[in-house]
Amino acid sequence: MKSKNKKQGVKKPKKAVNKLKAIKKPKATKKKPKEVTKKKMEPVLPTDLTQNQLNILVSYVAGEFGIEVTKHIVEGKENVSEFLIAEKMELSINEVRQILYRLQEQNLIHSTRKKDKKKGWYIYYWTFNFVEVKSLIKKLKENRVNMLKKRLELEDSNEFYTCKRKCIRMKYPDALEINFLCPECNVVMSLIDNKKQISVIQKELSILEQQMENQEMAEA
């Protein structure tokens, strides 16, 4: 008989598997960087001047296009090329210059000129004059106050007549000369109640005078 003492084959124990290693880690996905959109530079205005006030002033002096021209000059801070303004606004250089000259007449902008070495002509570079803004606003308000005072005196001291169609508005002596018949439609004219118009003038006059008084106190 064969000896039973032969070593029986012993199965080797399986190596412990590290479960943590066995778990496949997800591949790190590279996040696309967020696209940074450049914000448009807003015009930097003095603290005591609002954008609305500036727009009203500029549109009065140079029209609606004047607002955009001024915006480009203020954004550029100083020495902004008139050709750059024309390019951004898609206007001819002559159209832009007409607007610039209107602003210059009121001393709202000033310029320096440099000769283009390649082309041989002069290019004007413009800067906005914020110091003059306050002076011009004050001047325009004074003119408006004087005009309103004259208008108020005229409304207070006269009687006005008109027809139902309101073709024309006439003072009493002028209406009397034509027997109170409208020269446009030949209809009888009647007395106008101008209390509402007087009230509107007085209200605007009061607001402007108060604004001017506050400005004087602030500057004192």
Residue 18's alpha-carbon distances to 12, 15, 22, 91, in angstroms, are 18, 9, 6, 74
Burial 77-88 (b: 16+ CB within 10 A, else e): eeebebebbbee
Query: What is the full DSSP assignment across 64-75?
Result: HHHHHHHHHHHH
> Are 149 and 155 in contact, with CB atoms under 8 Å apart?
no
Determine what percent of the chain is predicted with pLDDT higher than 70.
77
Measured between alpha carbons, how far is 156 from 150 in angstroms, rounded to an integer?
A: 10
Q: Which residue has the tokens 């008989």?
A: 1
**Picking from 16-30, 39-53, 59-73, which range would have the lowest pLDDT averaged per residue?**
16-30
Please provide residue 80's backbone torsions phi and psi, each rounded to the nearest 5 degrees: -95, 130
Closest CA to 111 of 99, 123, 124, 95: 124
pTM attached to this predicted model: 0.59
pLDDT by residue (tens digit) across 183-205? 999 999 999 999 999 999 999 99
pLDDT for the residue numbered 40: 43
pLDDT for the residue numbered 117: 78
Specify the 3-state DSSP secondary structure of 215: helix
Decide if pLDDT at 34 tops 70.
no
